[in-house]
């Protein structure tokens, strides 16, 4: 079975600082996609950023960027200039075997004013 | 784009009862997914539809669970003879076809079994 590991259950960051959330995954697929989703407290889950595995260039969306290391099967999320609204549970997600999406257990991010 | 809508938001029922949840996806999305999320965990895939066809089912989906998407629009998830372990948040998501397509999630239905 495909697995996604987020080894940091909780993280905190000072407002305006930078934080990196880690994710490793296991897949037998050669072509796949990776995503980070954000789930604010009691709110809908929304897409933060996505990465195509065959692209070497790391994806960037405004203050969010990824460090994708395909050989190491690592997909970390960097949040720059952290804002209070970034506080949420962050899930690393892969699409793979069986046409399914696989979610990690999540990292709860606290932003300290 | 009115978003993915799920009803009800909360459902409290006694063990052994049947429950049914509804999901209305974004209209132009032909894929629809059901997930179960328990406290402190990430969503677990249950099943997905492409149009009206149910293409994948997780081994988590016991025979007490059934999902339909009769006309390729809204979907229902029914749980028969509910058990304590069924208590969870049930999330629905929809997307366009394609592995790179992001999923749009609903607010979920929280099921509590007494």
Mean pLDDT (chain B) is 93
Q: Is the pLDDT of residue B15 over 80?
A: yes
Cα(B68)–Cα(A102) distance, integer angstroms: 22
Residues in B touching A106 (Cβ below 8 Å): 40-42
CB atoms within 10 A of CB B60: 12
Cα(A23)–Cα(B29) distance, integer angstroms: 29
Assess B40–A contact: CB distance below 8 Å, yes or no: yes
Is A33 in Cβ contact with B42 (below 8 Å)? no
Give the model confidence (pLDDT) of B44-53 as tens digits.
999 999 999 9
Among A97-106, B47-56, B62-71, B73-82, which stretch is predicted with the lowest mean pLDDT? Answer: A97-106
Question: What does the pLDDT average to over A26-42?
Answer: 88
Extract the tokens encoding A41: 């407290």
Question: What does the pLDDT average to over A37-59?
Answer: 90
A100 vs B3, B42, B45: nearest CB: B45
Cβ-contact A110, A87 below 8 angstroms: yes
What is the CB-side half-sphere exposure of residue A37 using CA atoms within 13 A?
A: 25
Question: What does the pLDDT average to over A8-31?
Answer: 93
Residues in A touching B55 (Cβ below 8 Å): 99
Q: Is the pLDDT of residue A107 over 60?
A: yes
Is B45 in Cβ contact with A99 (below 8 Å)? no
Q: Is the pLDDT of residue A97 over 80?
A: no
Question: What does the pLDDT average to over B4-26?
Answer: 97
Q: Is the pLDDT of residue A108 over 80?
A: yes
Q: Is the pLDDT of residue A41 over 90?
A: no
B99 vs A46, A95, A98: nearest CB: A95
Residues in A touching B97 (Cβ below 8 Å): none
Percentage of residues in chain B with pLDDT exceeding 90?
A: 81
Give the model confidence (pLDDT) of A58-90 as tens digits.
999 999 999 999 999 999 999 999 999 999 999
Select the more confidently predicted residue: A28 or B11: B11
Assess B107–A contact: CB distance below 8 Å, yes or no: yes
H-helix or E-strand spanning residue A10: strand A10-14
Query: In chain B, count of helices (H) and strands (E)?
Result: 0, 11
Q: What is the DSSP letter of A85?
A: G
Is B56 in Cβ contact with A99 (below 8 Å)? yes
């Amino acid at each position: 079975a495909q697995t996604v590991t987020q080894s940091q259950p909780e993280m905190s960051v000072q407002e305006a600082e930078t934080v990196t959330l880690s994710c490793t995954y296991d897949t037998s697929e050669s072509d796949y996609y990776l995503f980070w989703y954000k789930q604010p407290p009691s709110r809908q889950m929304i897409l933060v950023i996505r990465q195509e595995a065959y692209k070497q260039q790391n994806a960037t969306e405004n203050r969010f960027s990824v460090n994708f290391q395909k050989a190491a099967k690592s997909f970390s999320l960097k949040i720059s200039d952290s804002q209070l609204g970034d506080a949420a549970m962050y899930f690393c997600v892969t699409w793979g075997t069986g046409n399914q999406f696989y979610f990690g257990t999540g990292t709860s991010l606290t932003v300290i004013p | 784009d009115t978003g993915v809508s799920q009803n009800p938001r909360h459902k409290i029922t006694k063990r052994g009862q049947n429950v049914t949840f509804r999901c209305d996806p974004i209209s132009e999305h032909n894929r629809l997914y059901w997930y179960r999320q328990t406290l402190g965990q990430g969503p677990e895939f249950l099943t997905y539809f492409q149009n009206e066809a149910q293409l994948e089912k997780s081994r988590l989906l016991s025979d007490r669970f059934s999902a339909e998407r009769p006309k390729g629009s809204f979907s229902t998830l029914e749980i028969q003879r509910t058990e304590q372990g069924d208590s969870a948040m049930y999330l629905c998501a929809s997307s366009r076809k394609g592995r790179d397509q992001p999923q749009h999630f609903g607010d979920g239905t929280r099921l509590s079994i007494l």
